[in-house]
Copies of this chain bind each other. A is one copy, B any other.
Amino acid sequence: MPWPANVSLGAGRVAIATDFSISLSGAGAKDPRVLHAVDHVWPRLARQTGQFIRPNLATANETATLSIVIEQRDHKPPQRLGDNERYSLEVRDGRIHISADYPLGALRGIETFLQGVEQNAGSAASGALQPGFSIAAMQIQDEPRFPWRGLSLDVSRHFIPVEEVERTIDGLAAVKLNVLHWHLSDDQGFRVESKRYPRLQQYGSNGEYYTQAQIREVVEYARERGVRVVPEFDMPGHATSWLPGYPMLGARAGSFEIGPGYGVLSDLMDPTKESTYRFLNNFVGEIVTLFPDEYFHIGGDEVNPKQWDENPRIQTFMRKHHLADARALQVYFNQRLLKIVTRHGKHMEGWDEVLQPDLPKSVIIQSWRGQESLWQAAREGYQGILSAGYYLDLMQSASHHYAVDPLVLPEDRRLALEKEGKPVPEPPTAEEQKNILGGEAAMWEEIASAENLDAKLWPRLAAIAERLWSPQSVTDVNSMYTRLQSTSYWLEWLGLTQRSNLELMRQRLAGSDAHQALDRFVSILEPVKGYSRHAGKNATNTPLNRLVDAIPPESDAAREFRNAVDEYLALPAEQRNSEKLRVHLADWAEAARNVRPVLENNSLLAENLPVADSVVAQCQAATEALLALDPASQTANARDAAWKERATATAKEGATRKGDILIPIAPAIAKLVDAVNVKPAQ
């Protein structure tokens, strides 16, 4: 995962044992990134196989277990948008062979190889089962569908230390994503050391920021793994954290401070002062020395115009410059900023809002609004990437994100337009498609922190990675989920903690005796979706240590149950047998009953008692429904209208949020209850 562009399986396998060796050849073989990747193959294989695999470079391709041939020297650094990532992987006749045009392709091929290594399986009875690990014979030709495949990572709302950022980069590279878009400033924190303007980090970060040395380390870490780093400094809104240190940048008088609150805050930069641009020119000039990438992201989203509208001096400026409204003033600001960014040798990137008639075509638009906005930009000749539909902080399912394609209008949007009688936009032409560079997942950190970051990102991010790398035709959701699970475990060998850290968090909640009861209970729970959790009293210092913080975004068990219920109901009535479904329901009800005393005596878990009670009630309603639906037990379990009313109410109640928790088996239970025919009144 991501699934390759072309793959065909062969017969047999190649063993991966302690004598594993690698040869490197071709003009690009000495590229430092390739040498680095090879250095990491030994320990990664050792971890994946539990064998003592030590560095073993073969002198000839013919004697190496894995031979890597790289035709061309590296593209000139830094890594650029569109750099060739093509590779082929061939496994046959006892040898593995990776070839690539350029070093970057070799990096991608090595990840595919490592992902293919698995334990020998088969039947012990047949006697042919050699203990150990191997890779199946196969032929792969692979290259990405889109050249820009990234993750936008917010480190402002909650700071993400270097260690976690680097671990995230490991994950990005493993699933062939190639951009870390580093959202380095926002209202809640300014996260980069400026030597020219040190009060930015001194007054804007609570002490949590990256030193310039750390920035350089991360950029180099990413480069070694074939990942570009695009910095974002959000302006002129989402910019409160600039102002405590440099209040003269602000659009109102007085002093500023960073508050703990979230949302579209009111503080803005003042785009009417020349001193603002002198400051930004100096700042950008300093900061671009840290980031070799060609692109510089200026944010530009969600400007609340109140402070501009209310400031007489700014209003005077606008009249003088014939700027009709705040929107026009932001265009003016963007134009000035564009000059600064360009002067320092960078292309500008911004969110949807920056798109304006006079904008040069070198600007890249990142769309949080959706395909239509992106397509419109492409039509006008702007390059763009899609982020709408890829917001991982919304706690949607992997399949939800997997269904989002930069070149396909979402089904619900199409239906909505048709319903409103509005025209459904044409998909981009082949020419326009060239302007659609790919997409970026986005992880905003209001209700996430370094502690549970991995679980918020992984494994769902791998599904998005597949959407952006693999051919458009790769859309089988069941196959995706199967591979997603293996990929998630594979990523844990890289040090990602999406499973282990949530376990620890639940242990912290429940105590060492009781966490197993809790672990069992949470298997069918999910956090609420979208921004509904924000509608509370969350702030940067709100502890993220509750049950909702310690469960994955998506319940595999609940999804599988919903699918199984659909299959059950689709069967002819006489063929139905619900035994397996009822075993699950009994398990969950038992888990909910067992966990009750744990919840009851626990200061942080007590709020979840209604969840446990609802699970018990839902499982009972579903079990009763199934007994009434199964032909074998139907007669003895006929239900009357009063039962159906009660059960329907139970399912309906089950579908409501309990605090910040959802019970995502509820929709399936409603279907079961609904399917029961009521026996006539006597």
Contacts and interface: CB of A to CB of B under 8 A. Distances in A.
Interface of A: 18, 47-52, 54-55, 118-125, 129-132, 158, 206-208, 449, 451, 485-486, 488-489, 492-493, 497, 499-500, 503-505, 507-509, 511-513, 540-541, 543-545, 549, 599-604, 606-607, 609
Given A602-B124, A609-B124, A52 B541 contact: yes
B509 A486 contact: no
User: Interface centre among A121, A158, A492, by most B CB within 10 Å?
Assistant: A492
B512 A486 contact: yes
Q: Which 10 A-B pairs have the closest CB atoms?
A: A50-B545, A124-B606, A120-B603, A500-B500, A51-B543, A131-B603, A489-B512, A129-B603, A485-B512, A486-B512
A226 B47 CA distance: 32
A511 B600 contact: no
A122 B601 contact: yes
Nearest to A125: B600
Nearest to A158: B52
A166 to B, nearest CB: 14
Given A124-B609, A131-B604, A207-B55, A512 B488 contact: yes
Contacts of A123: 600-601
A601 B123 CA distance: 4
Given A50-B545, A50-B549, A543-B49, A504 B492 contact: yes
A610 to B, nearest CB: 12
Contacts of A505: 50
Nearest to A600: B124
Contacts of A130: 603
A207 B54 CA distance: 9
5 contacts: A47-B451, A48-B508, A49-B543, A122-B603, A493-B504
A637 to B, nearest CB: 27
A593 B448 CA distance: 41
A329 to B, nearest CB: 36
A603 B512 contact: no
A121 B54 contact: no
A132 B50 contact: no
A451 B50 contact: yes
Nearest to A206: B54
Given A54-B207, A507-B489, A604 B541 contact: no
Contact of A545 (B49, B486, B488, B541): B49
A513 B488 CA distance: 12
Contacts of A132: 543, 603-604
A599 B493 contact: no
Given A50-B544, A129-B601, 7 more contacts: A54-B206, A120-B603, A121-B511, A122-B601, A122-B603, A488-B512, A492-B504
A129 B609 CA distance: 14
A601 B451 contact: no
Contacts of A125: 600
B603 A51 contact: no
A604 B602 CA distance: 42
A119 B52 contact: no
Contacts of A121: 511, 601-603
A119 B497 CA distance: 23
Given A451-B47, A545-B50, A513 B485 contact: yes
A603 B54 CA distance: 23
A50 B130 CA distance: 46
A662 to B, nearest CB: 21
A500 B500 CA distance: 6
A206 B600 CA distance: 56
